[in-house]
């Protein structure tokens, strides 16, 4: 059986809050979580891409996952809000520090580019506004073939009823065009009380238009495949070269070479 993952916990500079979030996720039974840094470039002001903070500094002691006696795995993830094609630069050195790379396109053209061209792992679907375009079959199929997944996050649905409506409407529109495959459900939680357990999310997936099996895949095996996809992007086309040091503790040295 595949383990449960939640690939979107919103980053906040307050490390105690982040620590409580990770602890709650471990308690609910998630084996892997990703801390999400959002980068929103605007035309007027030049902004820096956020640099990921080391997990060791952020959370000194990783909590044990409920049900299995092993600490939770924490990844770093960057989400680029893409409102112009120049916002996503394919070979930016800043992207290398992150384990996962996601984009959120806002127009149909950018959605097509994100599906077919961009070297990303996750395409976020907006859940806070009415869908600005319709999902065409061709880019969705192209993304499926490349191993890119679509993400629907549910925390906005807990906050107020309007956004709940948009979440359900946009996700059912997505499920119609991708037929339930290559979809992940994640939390986008800012506080521990916005997190829900993996089985709750499996049940919630039925509401979003997924079938029973696809819904469980959306929190487990699809997430696993996107993490593996990201790992293969990180190395040179999936060739992994490791050096074993007998006494030194293992440190991660590889970055994104795209």
Partner 1 sequence: MSCADTKGKPALYQRVVLKNASPYHYMKVCLVLEDESTRLNAVDLKQFIISGLDSLYGEVGAALNFDLLKYDEDTLTAFLRVYSKGLVKLWSSLTLLGSYQKQACAFRVLQVSPFLLALTGNSRELQLD
Q: Which of residues 112-141 bind partner 1 (CB under 8 A)?
A: none
Q: Which is nearer to partner 1, 159 or 257 (CB)?
A: 159
Least CB distance to partner 1 at residue 159 (A): 6
> Nearest approach, Cβ of 135 to partner 1 (angstroms)?
23
* Per-residue binder mask for partner 1 (CB under 8 A), 192-211, x = binder: -xxxxx-xxx-xx-xx----
Q: Helices 108-116 & 137-146, crossing angle to 10 degrees?
A: 30
- Is 35:77 a contact under the CB 8 Å cutoff? yes
Of 198, 201, 258, nearest in space to 229 by CA:
258
| Secondary structure string (H, E, C) spanning the chain | CCCCEEEEEECCCCHHHHHHHHHHHHHHCCCEEEEEEEECCCCCCCCCCCCCCCHHHHCCCCCECCCCCCECEEEEEEEEEECCHHHCCCCCHHHHHCCEEEEEECCHHHHHHHHHCCCCCEEECCCCCCCCCCCCHHHHHHHHHHCCEEEEECHHHHHCHHHHHHHHHHHHHHHHHHCCCCEEEECCECCHHHCCCHHHHHHHHHHCCCCHHHHHHHHCHHHHHHHHHHHHHHCECCECCCCCCCCCCCCCCCCCCC
In the complex, least distance from residue 16 CB atom to partner 1, rounded to whole angstroms: 16
- Supply 49's token pair: 């891409």
Q: Is 164 in the site for partner 1 (CB under 8 A)?
A: yes
Choice between 130 and 165, CB closer to partner 1: 165
The answer to whether 72 contacts partner 1 (rule: CB under 8 A) is: no
Cβ proximity to partner 1, 138 vs 206, nearer residue: 206
Spatial contact of 19 and 28, defined as CB atoms under 8 Å apart:
no
Smallest separation, CB 212 to partner 1 (Å): 10
CB of 199 to partner 1, least distance (A): 7
Give min distance, CB of 189 to partner 1, in A.
Answer: 10
Instruction: For residue 28, state whether it binds partner 1 (rule: CB under 8 A).
Output: yes
Residue number with CB closer to partner 1 (102 or 195): 195
Q: How far is the CB of 167 from partner 1 (least distance, A)?
A: 10
Q: Which residue, 32 or 215, is less far from partner 1 as judged by CB? A: 215
Return the closest-CA partner of residue 12 out of 4, 24, 22.
22
82 vs 168, beta carbon nearer partner 1: 168
Judged by CB under 8 A, how many residues of this single chain contact partner 1? Answer: 22
Fill in the per-residue mask, 140 to 159: x = in contact with partner 1 (CB under 8 A), - = not in contact: -----------------xxx
66/235 with CB nearer partner 1: 66
Binding site for partner 1 (CB under 8 A): 28-29, 66-67, 157-159, 161, 164, 191, 193-197, 199-201, 203-204, 206-207
């Amino acid at each position: 059986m595949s383990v449960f993952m939640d690939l979107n916990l919103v980053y906040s500079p307050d490390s105690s809050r982040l620590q409580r979030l990770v602890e709650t996720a471990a308690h609910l039974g998630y084996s892997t979580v990703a801390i999400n840094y959002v980068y929103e470039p605007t035309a007027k002001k030049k902004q820096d891409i956020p640099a990921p903070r080391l997990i060791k500094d952020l959370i000194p002691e990783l909590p044990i996952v409920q049900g299995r006696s092993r600490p939770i795995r924490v990844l770093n993830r960057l989400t680029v809000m893409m409102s112009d094609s120049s916002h996503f630069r394919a070979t930016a050195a800043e992207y290398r520090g992150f384990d996962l790379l996601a984009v959120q396109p806002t127009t149909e053209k950018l959605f097509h580019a994100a599906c077919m061209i961009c070297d990303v792992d996750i395409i976020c679907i907006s859940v806070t506004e009415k869908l600005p375009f319709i999902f065409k079959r061709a880019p969705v199929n192209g993304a499926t073939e490349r191993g890119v997944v679509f993400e629907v996050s549910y925390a906005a649905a807990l906050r107020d009823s309007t956004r709940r409506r948009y979440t359900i409407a946009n996700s059912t529109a997505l499920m119609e065009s991708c037929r339930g495959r290559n979809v992940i459900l994640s939390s986008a939680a800012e506080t521990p009380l916005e997190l829900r357990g993996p089985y709750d999310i499996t049940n919630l997936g039925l509401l979003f238009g997924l079938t029973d099996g696809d819904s469980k895949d959306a929190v487990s095996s699809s997430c696993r495949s996107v993490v593996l996809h990201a790992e293969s992007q990180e190395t040179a086309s999936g060739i992994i070269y490791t050096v074993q040091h007998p006494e030194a503790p293992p440190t991660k040295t590889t970055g994104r070479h795209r």
